[in-house]
Each structure stands twice: as C-alpha cells, then as structure tokens.
C-alpha cells in the first residue's frame, strides 16, 4: 500500500486490547471457551467497538489502551444481528477513529491488530469484494467486506482505508485464495448505534432457533444444535435436511434465514426435514438469542 508510515502510527492510539472472562456455565463457552482475547477500536471518547463473540457472556472485562492509563467497562451493548458489540467505558477519553464511506473493490486497506496487551501489528491488502455473506450460526450480512489483508493478531481488528479512516471490523479469517479477512462494515454500526444504545427496548427481535445449518449440495443440512436451545427442545437433529419453513421451500442459507426471520421470539415455526428417508415436521417455538446468551 502506497501510504506514509505515519498513517498506521496515527491509528494505534485508537486500537485497544481486550480480555474477557466468561463463566463456565454460559452457553457460549462450548464453542468459544471461557477466556477470550481480542482487539477493539475507539469509535467515541468513551466507546470501543469489537466483535460481539469476544465479550458475549463476560463476567469480567479488561480494556488495555496503548497509553497505559486505566479504564473500566461500565456497560456492554451486544448486537447479534450485526455481530458487533460496544463497550462503554469510564476513565480518560479515548481518541476515536475517523469513519469512512463504504469501500469499493480494489481499494487499498490496512488493518491494525493487537498481538498482546502492549503490542500492535498491522498488515496491508485490498478489498476484493463487497457482498452477501452467510454463516452457520444464524448470521447473515447483506454487505460484508472481503479483503486480502491477513490478520496478524487477534479478532476484532479495525480495517482502515489509506487515509486512516475506519472502514469496518475484522471478525473472521478466511482461507480461500484472495479472501483472507471478512470485515463488518462500519456503516452497519452507525446505522444501528441508537438501537444498540437502547438495548432490548429499542429492537425488534428476530426469531432464533439455536442450530448450525450448512449449505450442502443444493440444500441445507443441520450440522448440530445449541444445547438447551429451541431446536434441541423441539427434537431437531444433526443430519436433518431442511426442506421448508412454514411451507416455504428453502435450498440455501440465505433462503432459510429469511424465512426464519419473518417470525419473532415466541412465534411458532414449522420445519419440514428429511430424516432417514422420511419427511418429518418439527414445530419450533422461536427463541430470543439475546435473552438466551445474556
């Protein structure tokens, strides 16, 4: 990337190191463990943006800033739909990162990640694609940023344009050639900021059924269910091939999620699945993911 060395250095004060401790009994620990280390970025003098799974269910949170001055976490705002979380801090004001417009394919970028409490490491690349993304944990974005920048450190690393303006937050590493990191666009946070601040009072929750669907050969197969979640309670099983939701045929993850998200927590959903060469109907009461993982 053709940019002055001062640009990456200028963003360092906005990048923070995170450490969270999650009780062993929390439902997220089965996949994510009890100790999580990550990166975040200041988006206001008292707010840090990070990937939500790094702080989900945390009983204790530590934020370490490059200046070494202590801060405490007063409030954690989780948004499952975007995959983002905001930490509201008490303490000396942080220098917030500037935000940028929606990036375009081919744009040079760099990311800045924490590798330890007082260590920051950056890497460069470019945007290869901006488009839909679906994942197996009931998560979907209409406009994810795919880049060739390989994250050299922890998840939650901020992605910047050549001027040092914040484009998004790196939440996943990808191994496909030319697709090394996936970032959640910063404009998704900006659009949902007020709703996140209001918490449960400001949101219209989607139904959540607690399973792990995978696209498979023109269909969607269940690879597992969340322990004690709605899908397990209803009898959905790993290996079930989902045929339809409330009579609406589904063949992709995007079709499946769009069908489920027409409903709200407490609503009934009827999934037709193929199991052992027979079509079965599974009635599931949609859950509230935020309440489940609180």
138 contacts 257 by C-beta, under 8 angstroms: yes
Residue 138, in any domain of the structure? yes
Same domain, 174 and 250: no
122 plus 187 within the same structural domain: yes
Identify whether residues 44 and 114 lie together within a single domain: no
| Domain contains 206 | no
Q: Is the pTM higher than 0.75?
A: yes
User: For residue 95, what pLDDT is reported?
Assistant: 96
Asked if the structure places residue 142 within a domain, the reply is yes
Residue 203 in any domain: the answer is: no
Same domain (yes/no): 84, 120: no
Tell me: do 172 and 237 sit in the same domain.
Answer: no
Last residue of a domain, one of 59, 90, 121: 90
User: Is 221 contained in some domain?
Assistant: yes
User: Is residue 103 in a domain?
Assistant: no
Residue 183 in any domain: the answer is: yes
Claim to verify: residue 269 and residue 218 sit in the same structural domain: yes
CA of residue 223 relative to chain centroid, distance: 20
Q: Which residues contact 271 (CB under 8 A, 6 or more apart)?
A: 236, 242, 244, 245, 281, 282, 283, 284
Per-residue pLDDT of the chain in tens (294 residues, 90 and over written 9): 545 546 678 999 999 999 999 999 999 999 999 999 999 999 999 999 999 999 999 999 999 998 999 999 999 999 999 999 999 999 999 999 999 877 999 999 999 999 999 899 999 999 999 999 999 999 999 999 999 999 999 999 999 999 999 999 998 776 655 568 999 999 999 998 888 876 655 467 899 999 999 998 889 999 999 999 999 999 999 999 999 999 999 999 999 999 999 999 999 999 999 999 999 999 999 999 999 998
SS3 46: coil
Q: How many folded domains does the chain comprise?
A: 3
* Dist CA 61 CA 50 (whole Å): 13
Residue 201 domain-assigned?
Answer: no
Say which residues have a Cβ less than 8 Å from residue 45's Cβ, sequence separation at least 6: 93, 94, 95, 96
User: What's 123's domain CATH number?
Assistant: 2.40.10.10
- The whole domain housing 30 covers 6-90
Distance separating alpha carbons of residues 127 and 4, to the nearest angstrom: 19
**Residue 224 confidence (pLDDT):** 97
Residues 153 and 81 in one domain: no
Structure confidence at residue 53 (pLDDT): 96
SS3 97: coil
């Amino acid at each position: 990337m053709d940019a002055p060395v001062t640009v990456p250095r200028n963003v360092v004060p906005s990048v923070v190191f995170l450490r969270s401790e999650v009780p062993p009994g929390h439902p997220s620990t089965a996949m994510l463990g009890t100790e999580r280390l990550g990166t975040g970025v200041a988006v206001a003098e008292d707010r840090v943006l990070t990937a939500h799974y790094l702080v989900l269910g945390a009983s204790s949170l530590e934020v370490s800033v490059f200046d070494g001055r202590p801060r405490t976490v007063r409030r954690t705002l989780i948004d499952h739909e975007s995959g983002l979380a905001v930490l509201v801090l008490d303490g000396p004001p942080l220098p917030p990162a500037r935000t940028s417009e929606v990036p375009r394919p081919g744009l040079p970028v760099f990311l800045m990640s924490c590798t330890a409490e007082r260590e920051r490491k950056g890497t460069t690349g470019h945007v290869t694609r901006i488009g839909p993304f679906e994942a197996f944990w009931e998560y979907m974005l209409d406009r994810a940023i795919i880049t060739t920048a390989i994250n050299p450190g922890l998840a939650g690393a901020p992605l910047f344009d050549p001027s040092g303006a914040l484009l998004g937050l790196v939440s996943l590493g990808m191994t496909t050639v030319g697709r090394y990191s996936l970032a959640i666009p910063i404009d998704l946070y900006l659009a949902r900021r007020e709703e996140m601040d209001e918490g449960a009072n400001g949101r219209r929750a989607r139904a959540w059924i607690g399973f792990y669907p995978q696209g498979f050969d023109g269909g969607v197969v269940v690879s597992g269910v969340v322990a004690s979640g709605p899908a397990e309670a209803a009898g959905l099983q790993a290996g079930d091939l989902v045929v339809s939701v409330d009579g609406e045929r589904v063949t992709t993850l995007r079709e499946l999620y769009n069908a489920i998200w027409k409903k709200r927590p407490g609503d009934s959903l009827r999934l037709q699945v193929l199991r052992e060469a027979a079509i079965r109907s599974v009635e599931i009461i949609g859950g509230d993911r935020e309440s489940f993982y609180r």
